[in-house]
Amino acid sequence: MTNTQLLKIAKDFESPVYVYNSEIITQQYKRLTSAFSKVEKVKVNYAVKALSNISILKLMKTLGAGLDTVSIQEVQLGIAAGYKAEQIIFTPNGVSLEEIENAAKLGCQINIDNLSILEQFGTKHPNIPVCIRINPHVMAGGNTNISVGHIDSKFGISIHQIPHILRIVENTNMNINGIHMHTGSDILDIDVFLYASEILFETAKNFKNLDFIDFGSGFKVPYKPGDIETNIEEFGEKLSVRFNEFCKDYGKELILAFEPGKFLVSEAGQFLAKVNVVKQTTSTVFAQIDSGFNHLIRPMLYGSQHEIENISNPKGRERFYSVVGYICETDTFANNRRISEINEGDILTFKNAGAYCYSMASNYNSRYRPAEVLWHNGEAHLIRKRETFDDILNNQIQIDLEPKKVKA
């Protein structure tokens, strides 16, 4: 998309607004599947939590992706988008047995990550196929907020508890058809992921009737010019060789599965916001926009960096700005960032806004969630309307609080 096209979207659909480019999503999907073209059976399950708009799910379906879901509501979204339940894997954390049973009744692939639920589910439903999520105790990315495979993580069953898993499986005679891990986001070192994969292979040897091994995802995408990213082609080449060797030793062609979210949609998304005020203080020039962490919380939540460009004045002289929001909290998107000269009314774009951005949006300060637009086949399509005041009031119930009159 060009700056002219983005500015027109901001005008036609108002700001702030999220914009996603279907062509980039398609390119990323093809890039990932091509990297593993030497493996006979590959399955990409899109991580719905990254960006759950139903039109995005429909796009993933046209590409051939399955879905990785973490809540029964995400499962229902997938079915509403046209997916069959068997194309959906359910990978929750800390949910009730009842929610897992509801997903199983629909026909989803169940993925369990704790011993208690594994034993309860296996006792009640020994014939329903179950995948087991392990924690390999491998730190990926260096940030404990987005790394979920380290020893203190709440996710997965520890590799040191494999004997417990085997005892439960033997006692319940349950059907284990998959082994899964997810080390977390922003994997920089391929060798670290390959090391974790060896742990997964060793675990898989304990189960004789597997259909698939799920290696999770967490591939690093570039967030600024010159930023490092996971070399997915090199990773695909190395893991494919090892996976094929394992299948040969195992005596069966297994499915190699992944569950990418950020890798598929992050670079496809941009967030457009208008500058309300340019505020000079004694030490800083603030560019205050018509948004805040109610729309884009990632920079405040775990320090993510989004490249910011002034598309209203892209060739202007660069100055240093701190870009902040209109929320009555500290909502700083960037400190002392070099950006083309900003004037009130200019439109700024935040790059890499496709993953974990709208999906984390809220109504804090009673602000409306923004619209979402999909750029597809050279046209802008509205895929979510901007909220209105009616949406704020929708589920609220006003009760009568007038004092009761006391009879004389």
Write the pLDDT tens digit of every residue in 158-182. 999 999 999 999 999 999 999 999 7
Take residue 202 and report the two structure tokens written for it: 């060793």
Query: Which are the contacts of 358, defined by CB distance < 8 A and separation ≥ 6?
Result: 18, 51, 53, 295, 369, 370, 372, 384
Residue 389 reports pLDDT greater than 80: yes
- At position 216, the amino acid (one-letter code) is G
CB-facing half-sphere around the CA of 178: CA atoms within 13 A: 25
Q: What is the pLDDT of residues 317-336, one digit of tens each?
A: 999 999 999 999 999 999 99
User: What average pLDDT is seen over the chain?
Assistant: 93
> Dihedral through CA 383, CA 364, CA 330, CA 352, nearest 10?
-20
Type and span of the H or E element at 45 = strand 42-47
CB-facing half-sphere around the CA of 75: CA atoms within 13 A: 22
Residue 228 reports pLDDT greater than 90: no
Residue 146 reports pLDDT greater than 70: no
- How many CB atoms neighbour CB 91 within 10 A? 28
Distances (CA, A) of 157 to 47, 89, 183, 392: 20, 18, 12, 40
- How many CB atoms neighbour CB 25 within 10 A? 26
Residue whose pair of structure tokens reads 């940030």 in the numeric block: 143
Q: Which residue, 387, 383, 371, 342, is CA-closest to 10?
A: 371
Residue whose pair of structure tokens reads 């284990």 in the numeric block: 176
What's the rounded Cα separation, in Å, for the pair 64 and 46? 10
Query: Which are the contacts of 300, defined by CB distance < 8 A and separation ≥ 6?
Result: 293, 330, 331, 332
What's the rounded Cα separation, in Å, for the pair 113 and 153? 12
Residues labelled as active-site residues:
328
Q: 87 pLDDT band (50/70/90 cuts)?
A: very high
Q: Which residue, 197, 366, 371, 183, is CA-closest to 273?
A: 371
Q: 402 pLDDT band (50/70/90 cuts)?
A: confident
What's the rounded Cα separation, in Å, for the pair 172 and 175? 9
| Contact status, residue 288 vs residue 276, Cβ threshold 8 Å | yes
Residue 283 reports pLDDT greater than 70: yes
Q: 143 pLDDT band (50/70/90 cuts)?
A: very low
When pLDDT is averaged across residues 28-42 and rounded to a whole number, the result is 96
Residue 227 reports pLDDT greater than 90: no
Q: What is the pLDDT of residue 148?
A: 43
- In this prediction, what percent of the chain has a pLDDT beyond 90? 84
CATH code: domain 269-382 is 2.40.37.10
CB-facing half-sphere around the CA of 361: CA atoms within 13 A: 26
Q: 226 pLDDT band (50/70/90 cuts)?
A: confident
Q: Where are the domains of the chain?
A: 36-264, 269-382
| Contact status, residue 295 vs residue 258, Cβ threshold 8 Å | no
Q: 84 pLDDT band (50/70/90 cuts)?
A: very high
Distances (CA, A) of 250 to 49, 205, 247: 33, 8, 5
- At position 70, the amino acid (one-letter code) is V
| Contact status, residue 258 vs residue 33, Cβ threshold 8 Å | no
For 21-43, give the DSSP string.
Answer: EHHHHHHHHHHHHHHTTTSS-EE
The 3-state secondary structure of 255-268, one letter per residue: EEEECCCHHHHCCC
Take residue 185 and report the two structure tokens written for it: 């986001």
- At position 152, the amino acid (one-letter code) is D
Residue 136 reports pLDDT greater than 60: yes
What's the rounded Cα separation, in Å, for the pair 10 and 1? 13
DSSP-derived secondary structure letter, 173: T
What's the rounded Cα separation, in Å, for the pair 15 and 6? 11
Q: What is the pLDDT of residue 99?
A: 98
Would you call 402 helix, strand, or coil by DSSP?
coil
Residue 195 or residue 107, greater confidence: 107
What's the rounded Cα separation, in Å, for the pair 179 and 181? 7
CATH architecture of 36-264: Alpha-Beta Barrel (3.20)
Between vectors from CA 299 to CA 27 and to CA 258, what angle results, nearest 5°? 35
